[in-house]
């Protein structure tokens, strides 16, 4: 499977399509076995189906639901790969014993990382008859004993920094450290250079240890200095209730992978894992059953596509955009549809005489990307083409009552359908008509209309309306649209109405509506803002 992909779908089915031993790191933050209302975050159809699936029974059903997925994750991991599973107290014991120990083996357990979500506020308020719970658990297992681990350090705290209380002639801070093991020749050189000295009260000579040489403190399994994203942290927060901080994922990715490795998040949620992997020059795959999760992650990644580290990526939806299909280059479309049908496309240039590909047993395939219904004349020409293509196979198929050829298209005329029936009944010639919608599901994206109204000096009200057969999930807004890439300033808006103040000048406004199948439509307008002089 190609990488740098956002995939909308059930992660169990998507995982089954990934080759074995191909992924370097899997981080998963699956829905916790906790309060049910809290677990439905986006509220779209895909998420609701997933919710109903995992909570159809009790804890045993939940563990079985998760276990089936982790078994596939173990299969796709490289022998040197690792999995980090994020959970809370509701099911952590069962997850470790019944899933991870069972699938990965006790010997491949590496760490139980305790993440302290928030810093101590100093409050003495208690909840119920127990201590407040302020931690999550992250279980780290490797696939084998030969795994990647890069040591992670964190900056020195204030107390450690104060120990560097000396300054040399160049202004560099240092402290005196005991020199416990050194040759006589090396010690004499250090003493002569002033980098070491003899202290009568000390058992050992001491040497200058400079602050800029200190690599920091090696991180242990208590991660108490990476807190949740602050509410006011508008640069990182996207409005996803259980969004994890980028610093947390950066630590996990850096310790268990190297640049160019592949990171997989099967519950992509708000997209933190793939966003950080992208930033750290790792390849990635993100999967989610929620339309909103995929589209919000897509918009989050688009915000950073002008940055140097950003890599191209693809969004894979189970439903294709009808308008984009129609805009696809004819030859590219033919090749793509033949492959989706399971055939072998004709990729050679020049005239193909109406043969766009063959099945793996040689039967000719023709593809038509016409908006109008395919007519009888197409069939007549196709019959001539398939007889010329391989007359022996054509005659053999007729004799044995096998299909002689396939015509693939959006619509077929009544005359064509009748002639196909006549050929079958009167001449024993079977031509099968295949609708593109039966090969790839497609639909029309939302039709969006954007209007603007000036409310007061420099302030405007915008209203977006969307027509969609499947229903609109949410709107996103770009208030400084560059006429090329949509980069959302507001990612999730359920109403389609926004009010905003602007500086004087021209402003390009764009809105995007996302329907329940993940298809998006957009509209844009330009406003000229001129400040009004006060009397």
Residue where one domain finishes, among candidates 439, 458, 475: 439
Does residue 288 sit within a domain?
yes
Shared domain check, 102 and 203: no
For residue 55, what pLDDT is reported?
58
For residue 250, what pLDDT is reported?
95
SS3 call for 522: strand
For residue 38, what pLDDT is reported?
45
Residue where one domain finishes, among candidates 254, 289, 316: 316
For residue 32, what pLDDT is reported?
81
Shared domain check, 421 and 434: yes
Residue where one domain finishes, among candidates 170, 187, 215: 215
The CATH number of the domain holding residue 514 is 2.60.40.10
When divided into structural domains, the chain yields a total of: 4
Does residue 534 sit within a domain?
no
Which residues 6+ apart lie within 8 Å of 190 measured at CB? 179, 182, 196, 205, 207
Among 341, 277, 338, which residue's Cα sits nearest to residue 309? 277
Angle at 233 between CA 217 and CA 477, to 5 degrees: 140
Shared domain check, 263 and 200: no
If residue 176 lies in a helix (H) or strand (E), which one and from where to where?
Answer: strand 173-178
Does residue 269 sit within a domain?
yes
Does residue 535 sit within a domain?
no
Q: What share of the chain is helix, strand, coil (3-state, %, to 5)?
A: 30, 30, 40
Does residue 334 sit within a domain?
yes
pLDDT, tens digit, 9 for 90 and up, residues 271-296 = 999 999 999 999 999 999 988 889 88
Shared domain check, 467 and 452: yes
For residue 191, what pLDDT is reported?
85
Shared domain check, 226 and 262: yes
Backbone angles phi, psi at 194, to 5 degrees: 85, 5
If residue 477 lies in a helix (H) or strand (E), which one and from where to where?
Answer: strand 472-478
Shared domain check, 267 and 176: no
pLDDT-flagged residues of the chain (< 50): 35, 37-38, 231-232
**C-alpha–C-alpha distance, residues 447 and 458, integer Å:** 29
CB 96 within 8 A of CB 139: yes
For residue 418, what pLDDT is reported?
95
Among 41, 466, 518, which residue's Cα sits nearest to residue 238? 41
Shared domain check, 100 and 239: yes
Alpha carbon 448 to chain centroid, angstroms: 26
For residue 125, what pLDDT is reported?
60
For residue 307, what pLDDT is reported?
57
Work out the widest C-alpha separation in the chain, in whole angstroms. 113
Shared domain check, 374 and 235: no
Does residue 104 sit within a domain?
yes
Shared domain check, 224 and 197: no
For residue 349, what pLDDT is reported?
67
Shared domain check, 411 and 293: no
Which residues 6+ apart lie within 8 Å of 394 measured at CB? 386, 387, 404
For residue 310, what pLDDT is reported?
64
Backbone angles phi, psi at 86, to 5 degrees: -100, 125
Does residue 113 sit within a domain?
yes
Q: Which domain holds residue 518?
A: 443-529
**C-alpha–C-alpha distance, residues 309 and 329, integer Å:** 30
pLDDT, tens digit, 9 for 90 and up, residues 126-172 = 667 888 888 999 999 999 999 999 988 877 777 777 888 888 888 88
Shared domain check, 327 and 303: no
Shared domain check, 427 and 357: yes
CB 174 within 8 A of CB 208: yes
For residue 195, what pLDDT is reported?
87
């Amino acid at each position: 499977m190609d990488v740098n992909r956002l995939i909308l779908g059930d992660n169990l089915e998507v995982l089954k399509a990934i080759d074995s031993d191909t992924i370097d790191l899997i981080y998963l933050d699956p829905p916790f076995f906790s309060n049910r209302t809290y677990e439905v975050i986006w509220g779209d159809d895909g998420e609701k189906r997933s919710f109903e699936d995992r909570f159809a029974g009790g804890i045993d059903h939940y563990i079985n639901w998760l276990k089936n997925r982790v078994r596939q994750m173990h299969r796709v991991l490289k022998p040197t790969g690792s999995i980090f599973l994020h959970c809370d107290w509701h099911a952590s014991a069962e997850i470790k014993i019944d899933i991870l120990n069972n699938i990965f083996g006790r010997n491949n357990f590496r760490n139980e990382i305790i993440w302290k979500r928030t810093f101590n506020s100093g409050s003495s308020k208690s909840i119920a008859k127990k201590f407040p719970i302020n931690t999550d658990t992250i279980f780290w297992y490797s696939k084998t004993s030969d795994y990647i681990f890069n040591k992670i350090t964190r900056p020195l705290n204030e107390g450690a920094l104060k120990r560097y209380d000396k300054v040399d002639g160049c202004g560099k801070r240092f402290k005196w450290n005991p020199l416990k093991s050194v040759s006589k020749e090396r010690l004499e050189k250090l003493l002569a250079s002033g980098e070491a000295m003899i202290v009568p009260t000390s058992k050992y000579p001491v040497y200058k240890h400079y602050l800029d040489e200190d690599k920091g403190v090696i991180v242990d399994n208590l991660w108490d200095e990476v807190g949740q994203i602050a509410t006011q942290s508008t640069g990182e927060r996207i409005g996803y209730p259980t969004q994890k901080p980028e610093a947390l994922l950066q630590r996990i990715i850096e310790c268990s992978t190297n640049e160019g490795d592949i990171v997989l998040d099967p519950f992509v949620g708000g997209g933190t894992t793939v966003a950080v992997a992208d930033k750290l020059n790792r390849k990635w795959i993100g999967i989610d059953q929620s339309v909103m999760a995929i589209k919000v992650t897509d918009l989050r990644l688009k915000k950073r596509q002008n940055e140097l580290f950003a890599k191209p990526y693809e969004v894979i939806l189970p439903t294709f955009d009808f308008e984009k299909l129609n805009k696809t280059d004819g030859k590219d479309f033919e090749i793509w549809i033949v492959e989706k049908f399971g055939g072998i496309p004709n990729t050679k240039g020049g005239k193909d005489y109406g043969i766009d590909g063959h099945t793996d047993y040689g039967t000719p395939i023709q593809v038509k990307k016409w908006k109008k219904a395919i007519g009888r004349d197409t069939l007549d020409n196709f019959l001539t083409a398939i007889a010329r293509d391989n007359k022996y196979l054509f005659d053999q198929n007729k004799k044995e009552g096998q299909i002689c050829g396939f015509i693939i298209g959006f619509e077929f005329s009544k005359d064509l359908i009748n002639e196909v029936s006549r050929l079958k009944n009167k001449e024993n010639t079977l031509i099968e008509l295949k609708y593109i919608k039966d090969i790839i599901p497609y639909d029309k994206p939302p039709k969006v209309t954007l209007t603007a109204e000036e409310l007061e000096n420099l302030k405007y009200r915008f209203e977006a309306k969307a027509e969609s057969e499947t229903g609109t999930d949410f709107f996103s807004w770009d208030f400084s649209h560059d006429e090329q890439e949509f980069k959302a300033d507001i990612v999730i808006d359920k109403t389609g109405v926004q009010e905003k103040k602007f500086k004087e000048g021209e402003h390009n406004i764009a809105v995007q509506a996302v329907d329940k199948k993940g298809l998006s439509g957009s509209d844009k307008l330009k406003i000229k803002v001129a400040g009004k002089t006060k009397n």
